[in-house]
């Protein structure tokens, strides 16, 4: 674990924060490039990434507080201003709402941009999970695999070998980003379909990885993240079924 990267006088650079910032920066550069290819102003990329970051962090913190309500009641200031404690699904919802509001304010159609931005969420989450690995959070259950890792100072602590689920998720996200952008998105003909595919991949991955993570089960042997993931997966599936081309649509062309 290396939660603190370096100290510069009274300033501490946290590895998790650095990885989050790296994720936002890489996403910004890719989005800027995509907008240039489409003949649009690259300045829009900075606004989208900025508001996605603001909305994402607020949403992630709100969901964390909801998940750990008793701890929040005991120490609200510490929970709010802690550098840790961010729930991905909350960040996804908060960031999505913020970007939709921005695009509506700019009088732009949301669908085409949703398809551009959705794969970038995989990049952001990938870097975020690398930050989780160095911070020691979000680790998995005990295992005897040769690549198992110990996190003695994590929350909860694991002074025994566990699954490095953070690295599993980071690898998955980077690979699926490449698959969507290079092979899937070019074959999709309607707006929102890439976003729907992202929901399928994101929801399915998180639902499965939760079985080897240490999050508490709340009902039916599932975690709160698994229920949210099911919602994402079902939403993506319904969207794809709704948007799929039909024989009637081809005959009218």
Q: Which residue has the tokens 């709340």?
A: 218
Number of domains comprising the chain: 1
The pTM is what? 0.86
Nearest C-alpha neighbor of 1 from the set 142, 172, 130, 147: 130
Res 250 pLDDT > 90? no
| Confidence tier at 17 by pLDDT (50, 70, 90) | confident
Token representation of residue 238: 């319904």
- Residue 81, pLDDT score: 56
Helix (H) or strand (E) holding 170: helix 165-179
| 23-36: b (≥16 Cβ within 10 Å) or e | bbeebbebbbebbe
- Contact criterion met (CB below 8 Å) for 100 and 110: yes
Query: What would the pLDDT profile of 105-133 be if each residue is shown by its tens digit?
Result: 888 899 999 999 999 999 999 998 999 89
191: domain range?
4-251
Angle between helices 15-37 and 43-67 (to 10 degrees): 140
């Amino acid at each position: 674990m290396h939660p603190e990267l370096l100290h510069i006088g009274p300033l501490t650079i946290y590895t998790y924060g650095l990885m989050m910032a790296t994720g936002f920066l890489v996403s910004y550069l890719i989005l800027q490039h995509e907008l240039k290819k489409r003949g649009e102003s690259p300045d829009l990329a900075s606004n989208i990434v900025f508001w996605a970051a603001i909305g994402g962090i607020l949403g992630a913190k709100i969901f964390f507080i909801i998940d750990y309500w008793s701890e929040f009641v005991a120490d609200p200031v510490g929970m709010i201003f802690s550098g840790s404690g961010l729930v991905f699904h909350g960040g996804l919802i908060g960031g999505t709402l913020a970007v939709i509001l921005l695009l509506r304010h700019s009088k732009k159609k949301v669908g085409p941009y949703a398809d551009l931005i959705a794969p970038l969420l995989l990049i952001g989450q990938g870097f975020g999970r690398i930050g989780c690995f160095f911070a020691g959070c979000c680790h998995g259950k005990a295992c005897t695999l040769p690549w198992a890792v110990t996190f003695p100072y994590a929350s909860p602590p694991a002074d025994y070998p566990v699954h490095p689920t953070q690295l599993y998720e980071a690898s998955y996200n980077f690979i699926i980003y490449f698959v969507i952008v290079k092979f899937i998105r070019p074959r999709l003909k309607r707006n929102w379909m890439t976003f729907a595919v992202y929901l399928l991949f994101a929801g399915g991955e998180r639902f499965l990885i939760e079985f080897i993570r240490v999050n508490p089960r709340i009902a039916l042997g599932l975690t709160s993240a698994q229920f949210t993931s099911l919602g994402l997966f079902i939403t993506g599936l319904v969207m794809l079924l709704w948007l799929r081309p039909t024989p009637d649509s081809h005959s009218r062309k």
